[in-house]
Each structure stands twice: as structure tokens, then as C-alpha cells.
Amino acid sequence: MVNIEKVIAIDGPSGSGKSTIARSLAKKLNLLYVDTGAMYRALGLVGSKRGLDLQNEEEMEQFISKVELVYEGQTGSLVLIDGENLTHEIRQHHVSELASKISKDPHVRNYLLEIQRKLAQDRIIVMEGRDIGTVVFPKAFCKIFLTAGPEIRAKRRFDELKAKGEKDISLQKILQDVIERDHRDQTRALAPLKPAEDAIILDTSEMNLEQVLDDLKDIVEEASEKKTVELC
């Protein structure tokens, strides 16, 4: 019987610093970084490009039965669908909404659940998302839930998009999108966004990335000693 899963689960809403933190942590520990949001984004984007109704369960079931998603986890090649590298395209602001919409679908969630669990079969991983500590790896040896106020998260997202050269965005619109998406993610029936009971909650509102990373390293080291998980 498996009592623990060798996964560092990092959950939280967008803009909590999750992705940057999880990526840096994985790099530091030389572990595979798994961005599950990228998987939802890729399916939402491709589904939308193929003209599908992302809220129609039958259409989604059909789509999922034929599509092939490969998670490579490399910097320039994170996620591919039917051979197409979507790593950069999925970062556009409008894709967030497509991902959030498609993430309600049970066929989509089950399909990705299987892919996500397989990634941890023969190695220790750092996986980030919304339901990693609650649903995907409920026995993860280390669970962290990152959060921050909506205004702060919207500002971080706004700065990130501006830096990437995205035009026609306003802070007000991003804040509105953040609030709507939080609500959708937290209230959906399947695997809603919430901290696992045994997760350590870290509010990053007043912290910079270095501070979060330092705290996280301590949390991970403590958990690995307690649960006797050898990280390297």
C-alpha cells in the first residue's frame, strides 16, 4: 500500500506566484516541474480553435477521445497537442478564460488526471495547479497552498502581460477577470479550488519571490525529513 506520494503539490489561484515559485523550486531541487494549468489552457485553446463549444459535455467527450496531449515540461516545449507545440500561445490572456471554462468538464478532468498521475510514476515531481493536494495526489508528502489578495494578483498578472508585450489590456479588466475566474474555480462542482486540509497556507501578498522561495524550501525540507523522502 502506498502511504505517501512523492509529489510536492503547490495549489492556489492565478497570480499567487505559484508558477514562478514551483518552476524555481523544481529547478533548485532538480525535479520535473509540472504545470497542470498549461494542460487546461492547451485543451481550451485547441478546443476553441476547432470551433467546439467548451461547455458542451458531449462535444468535449468526443474531443478528448481523439486528442493527444503530451507534457514535456521543457522551457520552450511545455505542452503539445497532436504534435503542435503550444507553450507560448497558451499564455495569451484570453486563453485563461477558455481554460477555466473547459476545466469544469468531467471528461477533460479525468483525461488530465491520468496524464498527471503518470508523470509521478517513477520520479519525484513538483506539480502546481488547483486540485493537486486535494484530488490528484491526496497523499502528496508536501502540500502548499499559495494565495494573495485579488488586487495584488491582478497587478502581478497585468505587469506580466505588459512585459510580454500584450496590448489592449487594463488593470481594471484584469481584476474583474481574476475575480470572475476565482469564483468559477472555487464554486465548480468538480475539484474546486480550495486548500487541502493538511496543506500549509502561505499568503504571498506582502512577500517577494525570494522570500516565498526561502519559506518554501524550509517547508519542503521539513516535510521530506518527516516523511523520509530523499529529494536527491
Beta strand 84-85 with 5-11: parallel, antiparallel or unpaired? unpaired
**Which residue intervals of 135-198 are DSSP H helices?**
150-163, 171-187
Report whether 40 contacts 53 (CB < 8 A): no
The CB-of-67 to ligand DC minimum distance in angstroms stands at 16
Is 130 an interacting residue with respect to ligand DC (CB under 6 A)?
yes
Bridge partners for 142 per DSSP: 8
Choose the binding region for ligand DC from 34-42, 47-55, 62-70, 209-217 (rule: CB under 6 A): 34-42
- The CA dihedral of 105, 107, 109, 112, to the nearest 10 degrees, is -140
Q: Which helix H or strand E contains 71, and what residues bound it?
A: strand 69-71
Number of residues that bind ligand DC (CB under 6 A): 14
Q: For the chain, how big is the Rg over CA atoms in Å?
A: 17
Is 134 an interacting residue with respect to ligand DC (CB under 6 A)?
no
Q: Binding ligand DC by CB under 6 A: which of 100, 134, 147, 224?
A: 100
Of 9 and 232, nearer to ligand DC (C-beta) is: 9
Choose the binding region for ligand DC from 62-70, 80-88, 95-103, 204-212 (rule: CB under 6 A): 95-103
Choose the binding region for ligand DC from 80-88, 94-102, 158-166, 197-205 (rule: CB under 6 A): 94-102
Instruction: In whole angstroms, give the CA distance from residue 133 to residue 172.
Output: 31
Instruction: In whole angstroms, give the CA distance from residue 10 to residue 15.
Output: 13
Is 147 an interacting residue with respect to ligand DC (CB under 6 A)?
no
The footprint of ligand DC on residues 169-208 (CB under 6 A) is 181, 185
Instruction: In whole angstroms, give the CA distance from residue 161 to residue 172.
Output: 14
Choose the binding region for ligand DC from 20-28, 99-107, 163-171, 219-227 (rule: CB under 6 A): 99-107
Is 41 an interacting residue with respect to ligand DC (CB under 6 A)?
yes
Q: Binding ligand DC by CB under 6 A: which of 6, 9, 22, 40?
A: 40
Instruction: In whole angstroms, give the CA distance from residue 222 to residue 142.
Output: 9
Site residues (CB under 6 A) for ligand DC? 14, 36-37, 40-41, 96, 99-100, 103, 129-131, 181, 185
